[in-house]
Amino acid sequence: MVENLTVNLGERSYPIHFGRDVTSAVRAQVDILTAEGRKLVFVTDQNFARCQTEALRTMTGDHPVLVLEPGEETKCLAELGRVLDFLAEHRVDRGGALFAVGGGVIGDLAGFAAASYLRGIAFYQVPTTLLAMVDSSVGGKTGLNLKAGKNLAGAFHQPRGVFIGTDLLGTLPPREFAAGMAEVIKTGLLGDADLFTQLEHAALTVNHPALAPVIRRCCALKARVVEADEHETAKEGGRALLNLGHTFGHAIEQVTGYGVYLHGEAVAIGLAAAARLSQKLGRIDAAAVARVETVVIAHVLPVRLRSPLPLAALMAAMARDKKVRAGTLRFVVLNSLGEAITQGGVAPALVEESFREVGAAD
């Protein structure tokens, strides 16, 4: 059975469909659009195309499919050009639609292509990783990475619908599942203390009966945040809170060239660094920091860099973060375990010390 949750954004509102197997629901949407005479294309990656061949065939029918290389390196200008050319090649017009079937990389890249092509066409998200299900498929942030930094090019472009099926996680590698748990832990820390406590008592696995309710819970919290601050313009708090751990994590990804750490692994280290910064700012104590790191480790995620990275390079990458305003970087810090706030004017020395404690080197 497929359940729904609505992201309420006025004329841009859309449903999130939840179920174990949503392939038939996706195909039903495809058939409706096809009957209306709309041209449809799909974008996915090689891992999903190889491991979930039947599911992909069920969803796509005979519509064109572009299969891209997996990995964060695909979120680049060259691959954006490939998707745009693919849309043009198949003569997709303004009434057409793109279906993004994959993890966060595919959703972000294909969504940005949909936002850019003909100045915007419809697109649908079919997330196939835990990270995409609980975070990147919801909220309309699309984009790609530049050499200068993570997600520095992009657009707000809401999908017309999101289809979340937990059966699609059956072939997800354990490392990718763990990476998705970083975003689940983040959700608990920033706005759902009960969820964080639940994760303290029992680590989630792909077969855990609580997984589906937790995914829905994460989506519901993100929907509420997005509804209140769709374009991340709030002076304090708002959608920026969803970046807890990401300012540190994005710097780690950029310095390592996007190929060493999965996004969720970098965010996990970022959560540890953000917790330590929060302690230095006097907002939480050492025991709370330890609780954060214990939950992260319990979900097979790192809290330290695998090998030292240059502190100067990390700080330089952080200074190019898209959350810089008027030359000042705002941090998302913990006021408690379950409540995050944004804070500007943080002394660089405290940030540097937090980076050192997770493995950065002078």
Per the CB < 8 A criterion, the answer to whether 200 and 295 are in contact is: yes
- Identify the pLDDT of residue 259: 86
- Identify the pLDDT of residue 2: 64
The first and second tokens of residue 208, run together, are 């855990």
pLDDT digits (tens, 9 = 90+) for 1-17: 567 999 999 999 999 99
Cα–Cα distance list, 179 to 21, 103, 186 (Å): 22, 11, 11
Which segments in the chain show pLDDT lower than 50? none
Torsion, Cα of 312, 316, 317, 321 (10° steps): 140
pLDDT digits (tens, 9 = 90+) for 27-42: 999 999 999 999 999 9
Catalytic residue numbers, as ranges: 119, 141, 183, 222, 236, 239, 243, 246, 250, 263
Tell me the three state secondary structure of residue 15. strand
- Identify the pLDDT of residue 1: 55
Number of H helices, E strands in the chain: 14, 15
pLDDT digits (tens, 9 = 90+) for 82-114: 999 999 999 999 999 999 999 999 999 999 999
- Identify the pLDDT of residue 139: 96
- Identify the pLDDT of residue 106: 98
Cα–Cα distance list, 40 to 33, 74, 181, 183, 272 (Å): 8, 22, 32, 31, 42
Residue 344 CB partners (closer than 8 Å, separation 6+): 325, 328, 329, 330, 331
Model confidence, pTM: 0.95
The first and second tokens of residue 153, run together, are 């090019």
The first and second tokens of residue 135, run together, are 């975070």
Query: Phi, psi at residue 348, to the nearest 5°?
Result: -55, -35
What per-residue string of b and e applies to 170-200 under the rule 16 or more CB within 10 Å gives b?
Answer: eebeeebbbbbbbbbbbbbbbbbeebbebbb
Residues 222 and 139: their CA atoms lie apart, in Å, by 7
- Identify the pLDDT of residue 147: 87
Mind listing the domains of the chain with CATH numbers? 3-171 (3.40.50.1970), 174-361 (1.20.1090.10)
Residues 231 and 215: their CA atoms lie apart, in Å, by 23
Count the neighbouring beta carbons within 10 Å of the beta carbon of residue 158.
Answer: 24
Count the neighbouring beta carbons within 10 Å of the beta carbon of residue 247.
Answer: 25
Residues 258 and 244: their CA atoms lie apart, in Å, by 19
